[in-house]
Structure 1
Amino acid sequence: MAEMGAIRMFMKMKAFDKIPLGGSISYDDLAASLGAEVPLITRMAWMMVATGFLRQIGEDRVAHSRLSELYASGNAQGVFFQIMFDEAMVPWVQWPQFFDKYGLKEPKLGNHNPHSFAWGDPDKNFWEVISKYPERLVDFNQSMNTLDEVLPVTGMYDFSWIAKAEGPEDRPLIVDVGGGKGQALKRIMAAFPEIPAKRLVLEDRAPVIEEVIQANERGFEDVQKIPHDFFMPNPVKGALVYYIRRCMHDWSDENDRIILSHLADAMAPDSRILITEQIMPNPPTALNAWTDLCMMNLGGKERTEKMFDALTASAGLKMVGVHKSLATDVAVIECVKA
C-alpha cells in the first residue's frame, strides 16, 4: 500500500519524467525540479528503492528500473495503474465508512456508490465525478478504448442472418444502444459488409453522438446517429436487433432492469436483444472477482449466466442463447420477448 501511494504521488508530480532514461538524478535536483522538499521526495523514493521499483545510485542519486520507466507520462501501463488507484483503490479503502453509512447491501444507484462517496460527491454518478477532473477523464476513456479493442465483438455470434431478414426496407436492422463512437458497430460492419449501413443505428448520449457526426468518418456516414439516454424509452421502435455491449456491468440490477424494459417495449414480436458482457463462472476466477469489485465501486456488477437469466426475465425477456468466446469470458446473450 505504501509503495502504491508513493508511485501515485510520483506520477501526480510527474517525477518519473524527471529521472533521465539511462542515467540518474540527485534527490536534491529531483526535489528542486518538482518544487518539493528534499526529505519528502527522498522518503517516497526510498520506498520504491526498497521494493526494486526504482534504483538508488550511491547515497544520493536515483535511477529508473525497467518497470518504473513505464510509469512516465504517456505510457499505457502507468495510466492503467493511475486509473486503478484513483477509481478503484481510493474507493476500496473507504468501504468501511461507506457501508457504515449506507448499510451492508449492494450499491443500487448510479450515485451514492463507493466511488462518488470516496471522492466527496455522493449525489453524483461516476461520470459526473470524473468529469470534474479532465485529465483523469481523458486517461480513463483512452484506457477503456484500449481494453475495448482487445475484447471480441465478432466470432461469437453469427450476424449474417440479419442481412437476409425479410421485411420493410426501411426497418432498422441493428440499433447499437449506448454504442459510444461506434467502435463495435464498425467491427460488425467490417465482418458483415452485406448488412447495409443505412439500416444501422448508433445511439449514445448527445455529446458523444455530436462528436461522431462532426468526425464524419468515411464508411460510417450512412449509419443513423441518434442521441439517446437508455434510461428513457427508446425512440427506435421495431428494430430487428437491439445490441448493447459492455453497458450492463456498469449498472445495478435495478438500473439494468429499466434499460432492458425500455428495449423490450420497443421490440417487435420478432426482434432480438443481443447483450455482450463478461459472464462470470461460479466460483469466479481472481480476475473475475477483482473486476466485479471494481464495478461495485461504480454501482455496477459482473454477473453469472444465472444472474443474467434472472435479470432479463425480470424485464420481460427470455434468454434463448448464450454465444461464448473461446478465448475470453465475454459472451453474447440472445434474448426475445417472453
Structure 2
Amino acid sequence: MASTSRIVELSNIISHGTAQIDVYLRENNLAQPSFEEHARLSALPENAPAHLQQAHAAAIEASLELQQLLRGVDSLLMPSTDPTSLTAISRFKIASQVPLDGEISFVELAEKSDMAEHDLRRIIRFAIVHHRVFREPRKGVVAHSAASRRLAESQTLRSVVGMSVDEVWPAQARTVDALVKFGKSQEPNASGFALANNTDLPFYEYLEAFPERAQQFGGAMSGAGIAGLQALVDHFPWSNLPDQSLVVDLGGSQGHVSAFVADAVPSLRFIVQDLPKAISGTDSAYRIPNSMGDRVTLMAHDFFSPQPVEGVDVFLIRYIFHNWSDEYCVKILRNLRPGLKTGSRIVIQDHLMLQPGSLPLMKERDIRSMDLIMLSLFNSRERDEDDWKTLVENADPGFKFESAKRQAENSPSGIIIVSWNG
C-alpha cells in the first residue's frame, strides 16, 4: 500500500507550487493574486522563470484533480456552469453600468440596464458565486471585482465573452441534435449553429446579415491573426528559396502575415488572395506598408475555385483548414493544382493535435474545447499528424506529406509541410 494517498500527494503539489509563487511575488514586490477590483490579471507575469511557470501549471492541474476527487464521481457527470448569468451580463451590458472604483444599488443598476430588479439581483448573485464577476460589499449594493472590471474596460474581452454567449453556447446546445439530424454529413451548414439560428446558411454567410454579430466575432478573433508569426518564419526555410520566389498567401485577408514574412525575407514576392470583401479591407484598419513596394500584392480569389496564378513556389495556408470538413479541405488542395509545379511546397500553419495525455491537462483541455467549438460552429475539426497525412493523400497522389512539427513546446499549433511531385 502506498505510503501517501493521491489526495495528499496532490495537496503537496499545490502547497509546493504556491509557496514558490508566493516567494517570487514577494521578492519582486509584486501584488498577490486577488479577486478585488484592482487585482493583477494573472498570478504570474508573462516573463516569470520557466520553473515557476511549470510549478504554476502543476498547482492548477493538481487543484482541479483534487477538487474532482473530493467532490465525487457523480459531480463529473453534471454539465458545466449555467451560462445564463454571463449571457445576461453581456447582452444587457451590465458591467459598463457599474461605476469604476464605486458602487451602485441593485435598484439603480436594474433601471440603467432596463431589467426587473429581482431578475438582475439573482443574475448578479449567481455570477458572484460561480464566476467571481462583481461583488456585493453589502446587501443590495454592487461593485466591481477584477473580472467584471476587465469586462467593463476591455473591448476585446467583451467581444470574446459576447461571441461565447451569443454564438458558441447556443450552437453547442444544438450540436448533438445536428449529429442526429445530419448524420455523417460534411456540409458546413450541418451544424449546431445552423439549428440554433434556424438557418440553412453556414456560419460566415449567416453572420453577413448581422453586422454587429460579425463585428463582435471579428473582435474576438483579432488576437488570433498575429499569434505565431515568428514561429511561421522560424519553422520553414524561407531564406533557402531562390530569389524572387513567389509565395501565394491563401485566405490571407489584408496581407499582414505576408508582410511579416516579407520583412524577414526580402528576396521573396507575395500574392495575398482572399474574397473580394476581405481584400477591399472595409472592415480592417491594416494596410500593407509602403516600404514593401510591389513585393506584397492583393488579389481577389475564392479558394474553392481553381488557382489562377501559375508557377507558384510556395502556397501559405494559415488557419484555414480547421474551419472546414475533410471533404472541403480536399477541394481546397485540389484547386491548387493549376498553380503548382514540380517541387512546389504548401506551408500550412494550423492546429496540430497530439496524442491524448501528451500535453499538460490545461493545454489539452483548451485544444479539445476548440475541437468541439469547430464542430458546433462549422461542422469542421482539428487534426493530428495522421489526420493531416490522410487529408493530403486523399487530395491527390501528387501531394507528398513531408512533416508536421509543433511550433513551440505545449503549443496547440504546428507547421505542416506538403510538396507537389505531380
Please give the alpha-carbon distance, in whole angstroms, between the structure 2 residues aligned to 1:12 and 1:261. Answer: 43
Please give the alpha-carbon distance, in whole angstroms, between the structure 2 residues aligned to 1:206 and 1:221. Answer: 21
2:415 aligned with 1:329? no
Please give the alpha-carbon distance, in whole angstroms, between the structure 2 residues aligned to 1:211 and 1:220. Answer: 18
User: Secondary structure at the residue paired with 2:217?
Assistant: helix
> 1:201 Cα shift?
0.5
Structure 2 residue aligned with 1:255: 328
Q: 5+ unaligned residues in a row in structure 2: which ranges?
A: 1-79, 358-363
1:174 equivalent among 247, 255, 266: 247
2:158 equivalent among 78, 96, 106: 78
| CA deviation string 1:194-221 (max 9, x = no partner) | 32xxx31010001111228995642344
TM-score (normalised: structure 2): 0.72
| CA deviation string 1:22-54 (max 9, x = no partner) | 111011111111222211211211212333322
> 1:141 Cα shift?
1.5
1:119 equivalent among 172, 183, 197: 197
| CA deviation string 1:283-311 (max 9, x = no partner) | 26222211111111212211010110010
Structure 2 vs 1, CA of residues 191 and 174 (structure 1 numbering), >3 Å: closer, same or farther? same
| CA deviation string 1:153-196 (max 9, x = no partner) | 221112002244xxxx6xx610001111112111111211232x
Please give the alpha-carbon distance, in whole angstroms, between the structure 2 residues aligned to 1:263 and 1:101. Answer: 33
Instruction: Confirm or deny: 8 A CA contact 1:116 1:124 kept in the other structure.
Output: yes
Structure 1 residue aligned with 2:61: none
Instruction: Confirm or deny: 8 A CA contact 2:254 2:288 kept in the other structure.
Output: no
| CA deviation string 1:241-293 (max 9, x = no partner) | 11111101000000000000111342111211111112100226222211111
Q: How does 1:89-128 map to 2 (within 5 A)?
A: 89-103=169-183, 105=184, 107-121=185-199, 123-128=200-205
Please give the alpha-carbon distance, in whole angstroms, between the structure 2 residues aligned to 1:47 and 1:268. Answer: 60
Please give the alpha-carbon distance, in whole angstroms, between the structure 2 residues aligned to 1:216 and 1:301. Answer: 31
TM-score (normalised: structure 1): 0.89
CA RMSD of aligned residues (A): 2.2
Q: How many percent of aligned residue pairs carry the same amino acid?
A: 25
Instruction: Confirm or deny: 8 A CA contact 1:162 1:173 kept in the other structure.
Output: no
| CA deviation string 1:58-102 (max 9, x = no partner) | 221111111111112644333222222333211111123222322
Structure 2 vs 1, CA of residues 301 and 72 (structure 1 numbering), >3 Å: closer, same or farther? same
Please give the alpha-carbon distance, in whole angstroms, between the structure 2 residues aligned to 1:336 and 1:268. Answer: 10
Please give the alpha-carbon distance, in whole angstroms, between the structure 2 residues aligned to 1:126 and 1:331. Answer: 25
Structure 1 residue aligned with 2:97: 18
Highest RCO, 1 vs 2 (Cα 8 Å, sep ≥ 6): 1
Please give the alpha-carbon distance, in whole angstroms, between the structure 2 residues aligned to 1:270 and 1:175. Answer: 15
Structure 1 residue aligned with 2:58: none
Q: Name the amino acid aligned to 2:239.
A: S
Structure 2 vs 1, CA of residues 254 and 278 (structure 1 numbering), >3 Å: closer, same or farther? same
| CA deviation string 1:130-173 (max 9, x = no partner) | 22332221222233221231223221112002244xxxx6xx61
Structure 2 residue aligned with 1:136: 213
Q: How does 1:1-338 map to 2 (within 5 A)?
A: 4-51=83-130, 52-72=132-152, 74-103=154-183, 105=184, 107-121=185-199, 123-151=200-228, 152-164=231-243, 173-195=246-268, 199-211=269-281, 215=287, 217-222=289-294, 223-283=296-356, 285-297=364-376, 298-316=378-396, 317-327=399-409, 328-338=411-421
Please give the alpha-carbon distance, in whole angstroms, between the structure 2 residues aligned to 1:79 and 1:337. Answer: 40
Please give the alpha-carbon distance, in whole angstroms, between the structure 2 residues aligned to 1:2 and 1:282. Answer: 28
Structure 1 residue aligned with 2:26: none
User: Secondary structure at the residue paired with 1:336?
Assistant: strand
Instruction: Confirm or deny: 8 A CA contact 1:203 1:228 kept in the other structure.
Output: yes
Please give the alpha-carbon distance, in whole angstroms, between the structure 1 residues aligned to 2:304 and 2:174. Answer: 29
Instruction: Confirm or deny: 8 A CA contact 1:177 1:202 kept in the other structure.
Output: yes
Please give the alpha-carbon distance, in whole angstroms, between the structure 2 residues aligned to 1:54 and 1:224. Answer: 48
Structure 2 vs 1, CA of residues 56 and 309 (structure 1 numbering), >3 Å: closer, same or farther? same
> 1:323 Cα shift?
4.0
Please give the alpha-carbon distance, in whole angstroms, between the structure 2 residues aligned to 1:124 and 1:89. Answer: 18
Structure 2 vs 1, CA of residues 219 and 124 (structure 1 numbering), >3 Å: closer, same or farther? farther
Q: Name the amino acid aligned to 2:201.
A: K
User: Secondary structure at the residue paired with 2:305?
Assistant: coil
Q: Which has the larger radius of gyration?
A: 2
Please give the alpha-carbon distance, in whole angstroms, between the structure 1 residues aligned to 2:139 and 2:207. Answer: 40
Instruction: Confirm or deny: 8 A CA contact 1:71 1:79 kept in the other structure.
Output: no
